[in-house]
A = this chain, B = another copy of it.
């Protein structure tokens, strides 16, 4: 998993903050992340503005750690960002 992800406690969660050049790029990322959500059935809390997105993956119910399905989601987001970077180059 990319080191941009941070494990936090109370409540247990995995977070990543992303910055984008403009609103179009932000929206493009959100659209692609939505496809990942639909494919994996994982719907994290997302917050965004014109040029940023924060992703928060919570542990399920009383779990003390974020589970494997959410970590899978995180890795898919990493791949998606790598692809975007490659396309930009």
Cβ of A4 within 8 Å of any chain B Cβ, yes or no, is no
A: number of interface residues (CB 8 Å): 14
- Nearest chain-B residue to A48 (Cβ)? B46
What secondary structure prevails in chain A residues at the interface with B? Answer: mixed
- Nearest chain-B residue to A44 (Cβ)? B49
CB-CB under 8 A from A27, the residues of chain B are 34
Copies of this chain, count: 2
A50 contacts B43, C-beta separation under 8 Å: yes
B30 contacts A43, C-beta separation under 8 Å: no
CB-CB under 8 A from A34, the residues of chain B are 27
Asked whether A47 and B45 contact (CB < 8 A) given A23-B37, A23-B38, A27-B34, the answer is yes
Q: Which residues of A contact B (CB under 8 A)?
A: 23, 27, 30, 34, 37-38, 43-50
